[in-house]
Amino acid sequence: MAIPVGLTLRNMGTQSTPALLRHGTLTAEQAGYHSVWITDHIAIPPDDAEGSGGRYLDPLATLSWLGGQTSKILLGTGVLVLPYRPKVPLAKWIATVQELTGERLILGAGIGWMRAEFNAVGVPLADRVKVSEEILAFLNQCFSQEVVTANGQDFLFKPRPKKPPIFIGGAAPHAIDRAVKFGAGWIPMTTDPDKLEPAIKSFREKARRAGTNAPVYAFGKLGSDRAEVQDRLAALEQIGVDVAITGVKYDTADELSRGVEALSERLA
């Protein structure tokens, strides 16, 4: 394949059983995929539960569990909504998952958008940028020094494994500016090369001026046949995408296996 490919798995709805999640992750690892990715919702309101029934497994808990059953595949949040969780417990969660999985966590992070969820966790939607950037700064502090400070209190941040790679999810220009500001990678939610090319050029130039060289992972569809997939991957590689992340449709383990097999044939 032109560039590595990661696979999204459903941690919501009827497809979010332990058996299906385990099967999907092991299948992806055995097939040589770069990573598996799951999303984040914390409090779905009843009138917005179509497709999930309001059932979502927590991303970090799920990835920690999957990490204990695998050995090589990388484990990504696509993306974790930072303002939903207090910064000190969140930093501890992230460090613990990174430690227990042998430093295989990839932290896709976003600022969120669903007003109902912000209402449920008690964080004003209007504060999401400020809170997210406070958390990103705090995470950088936690993984760079043993003694950190929160709410005026110094404490030892342990365990302190290698900081997981952090990627900011969202659209240009705000997401790429935030990624550059915090030395992070960028996760755009599209694999359209025409849409991505100017944004990636901007990201690379801003990162160069800031003295960073962070990667770009793109989420989206790759195509319905081998030629289309190969052309899309080649185009993404040409414009500077480092990893493409996509998914397959499934409701059962057999459908998941067939979907991954078909995708693998298009990638070969």
Is pTM beyond 0.85? Reply is yes
Tokens describing residue 41: 């919702």
Non-local (6+) Cβ contacts of 233 within 8 A are 1, 2, 3, 5, 222, 244, 267
> Closest Cα partner for 217 from 195, 189, 194, 197?
189
CATH topology of domain 5-267: TIM Barrel (3.20.20)
What is the pLDDT confidence band of residue 48, given thresholds at 50, 70 and 90? very high
Non-local (6+) Cβ contacts of 40 within 8 A are 56, 59, 77, 79, 80, 81, 84, 110
> Closest Cα partner for 219 from 246, 197, 253?
246
> Closest Cα partner for 24 from 233, 226, 251, 191?
251
pLDDT value at 233 more than 60: yes
pLDDT value at 197 more than 70: yes
pLDDT value at 1 more than 80: no
User: Per-residue pLDDT tens for 90-147?
Assistant: 999 999 999 999 999 999 999 999 999 999 999 999 999 999 999 999 999 999 999 9
- Single-letter residue type at 160: R
Rounded Cα gap, residues 118 and 122, in angstroms? 6
User: Per-residue pLDDT tens for 163-175?
Assistant: 999 999 999 999 9
In the prediction, which pLDDT does 106 show?
98
User: Per-residue pLDDT tens for 109-124?
Assistant: 999 999 999 999 999 9
Pairing relationship of beta strands 153-156 and 74-81 according to DSSP bridges: unpaired
In the prediction, which pLDDT does 2 show?
84
Q: What is the mean pLDDT of the chain?
A: 97
Rounded Cα gap, residues 59 and 79, in angstroms? 9
DSSP code of 58? -
User: Per-residue pLDDT tens for 206-225?
Assistant: 999 999 889 999 999 999 99
What whole-number percentage of the chain has pLDDT above 90? Answer: 99
In the prediction, which pLDDT does 213 show?
87
Residue 68: strand pairing partners: none
